[in-house]
Structure 1
Amino acid sequence: METVGSVIARTPISPASVVRRPPESTMAVESKEPDGNVHQETELSNLAKQLSAAAERAAARDASLSREELADFASKILDKLMGDSYLLAKDFFDEFLPDTDDPELLERARQANAFAKGRGENPFKGLSRDQLSLIIYDESGAFTINERRAARVERTEQHNEWARYIIDKMGAEYRQTGRNDQGLHEILDFYNSLPRIEVAQYGNYEADINMQLAMHEVEWPEFNTSLIDMLAHEWKPSEPPVTPEQPDPAADPTGKAPD
């Protein structure tokens, strides 16, 4: 029977951690009032403007699609970002830059390309999960393929770290009480807080969790394995394994693969 450690060991890990700080989405600009006082004006960065526009598009998309349709849409997006179509055009994506003269957009695209080759930091490290989801599933062309892949790597690491946290918490709760009520409620709250397009990918998770809550006695090893599968199954790698002679371009410098 699989143990917690064995399942965690095969859960993909990516180069970042749970949200630590908000993105630098604004910058203050000083100006003088007629009376000589300094007035602070806030100017949105390009990223903040892009995220705002992406949020509007996501809201319209989510309102027009059913849960099943959203799950299908998300599956197609992830295949586009991580599947054969990406691998066949990888050389092109690794050099692609947006058609703009804006130095901020160009620099971020270059950083995403470098990150895809394992040569730099993730440009979206530290963004919130909601913001990362906006980038990943945005089909407007506002973000390059490698930017969207970088956002997915960061989101996957945040999910993996949360999964490790909740598994440890539920293990401790079960040892103390023989039940997992608090942990299961926390899982339910967590999934209900996710962007709608991510919620759609987890199938009928609400019924699964409520069924576990209704059970008075659950054998921990069997329950734990099913829980890990529920937490991590959708995040398994969608790319073929990479041999040591051909490193994964989306991995971080330590060699950890994306989800």
Structure 2
Amino acid sequence: MVENIRSNGLASGVPSPSGVQRAVASPDAKATGELQAEPHDGPELSSLAKQLSAAAERAAARDASLSRKELAAFASAVLQKLFGQTYNVAKDIHDNALPDTTDPELLERARQATDFSNGKGENPFKGLSREQLSLITYDESGAFTVNERRAARHESNVQHERWSRAVIDRMSAEYQRTGKSDQGDLEVLAFYNSLPRIEVAQYGNYEMDILLKSKGLGIEIPDVRLSLFDLMVNEWAEEADALEQDQPANPQNPESDKKL
């Protein structure tokens, strides 16, 4: 249902004016978990592209006004709203919510997101880029319904799991060959740094641990290889379980349930 989004159109946070299109995996994307878009000749800017352009402006203003710690707290509150007990309490309200518009595209997408949230039909945001999904998930303006934002986060979870499985395989192969996982560490760090700022903020300063280890500074940091990677994988796995079971999740404090 959703028209697709040109992935390079959000390099500056704004969708391409040529239209919206789905992102698809490329050979290079397999290494990073990123998605690229199919060529598209549509001349018109879709309703979704317009929404994402406005959401990107709001996100840029938000990110500029909050410290890393404040941004992490904001993200935690948003994810609790989308996946915590407050969602379950108001589920009927969310399932009946529709955007205040007469645009048939926006109305149909909201209905599709609700169907998806209830185990029926396809995710309307399937195939969008990680940055685009983040814009939808954390947008508090009311432009997207709660169920749309949950659907966007679910697609992020799917992409994250795909990436984590691939990088685990590469790190394991590297360790078997060399007894180390230096390249894997750097790949995890590169992926981490490629995330939207609001997602990076939620992981603390784990990049410093990996940088210290990778540069061979001789500083003993226990389980550095696993610290960031496990945090990233376990956090998103917990949230995916919460989405499936409609149980509260605590994305800001994965340490409480993390098994290392």
What range is the shorter-chain TM-score in?
0.7 to 0.9
8 Å contact kept, 2:157–2:237: no
The Cα of 1:22 is off from its aligned counterpart by 3.5
User: Could you tell me which amino acid in structure 2 is paired with residue 122 of structure 1?
Assistant: N
Q: Is the 8 A contact 2:83 2:242 kept in 1?
A: no
Change (3 A) 1:240 1:20: closer
Q: Which residue is 2:160 aligned to? A: 159
Amino acid at match of 1:203: G
Q: Work out whether 1:97 is the aligned partner of 2:98.
A: yes
Question: Secondary structure of the residue that 1:237 maps to in structure 2?
Answer: helix
- Give the gaps of 5 or more residues in structure 2: 1-24, 26-32, 248-260
Deviation digits for residues 192-216 of structure 1 (CA, Å, limit 9, x no counterpart): 1110000000111112212432569
Larger RCO (CA within 8 A; separation ≥ 6): 1
Could you list the runs of 5+ residues in structure 1 that have no partner in the other structure? 1-16, 29-41, 251-259
> Does the 8 A contact of 2:99 with 2:110 survive in 1?
yes
What amino acid does structure 2 have at the position aligned with 1:61? R
SS at match of 1:43: coil
**Match for residue 22 of structure 1?**
37
Deviation at 1:19, TM superposition (A): 6.0
- The aligned residue for residue 138 of structure 1 is 139
Output the TM-score relative to the length of structure 1: 0.74
- 1:210 maps to 2:211: yes
User: What's the counterpart of residue 186 of structure 1?
Assistant: 187
The residue type equivalent to 1:22 in the other structure is A
Q: Which residue of 1 aligns with 2:14?
A: none
Q: Distance in 1 between matches of 2:208 and 2:78?
A: 26
Give the TM-score taking structure 2 as reference length. Answer: 0.73
Equivalence for 1:72: 73
Q: 1:241–1:201: structure 2 CA closer, same or farther, 3 Å change rule?
A: closer
Q: Which runs of 4+ in 1 moved over 4 A?
A: 17-21, 214-217, 222-228, 238-242
Structure 1 residues 181, 202: CA separation in 2 closer, same or farther (over 3 Å shift)?
A: same
For 1:129 and 1:65, the matched residues in 2 are separated by 21
**1:181 Cα shift?**
1.4
Letter in 1 for 2:177: Q
Q: When the two structures are aligned, how many residues end up with a matched partner? A: 212
Cα RMSD for the two superposed structures:
2.7
Deviation per CA, 1:38-83: give whole Å up to 9, x if none: xxxx210000000000000000110111100000000000001001
Residue 202 of structure 2 is matched in structure 1 by 201
- Percent of aligned pairs sharing the same letter: 60
Per-residue deviation, residues 78-128 of structure 1 (Å, max 9, x unmatched): 001001110100011112111211100000001001001101100000000
Once residues 232 and 151 of structure 1 are traced to their aligned partners in structure 2, the CA distance between those partners, rounded to angstroms, is 18
Q: Which has the higher helix share?
A: 2
1:194 and 1:224 map into 2 onto residues whose CA distance is: 19
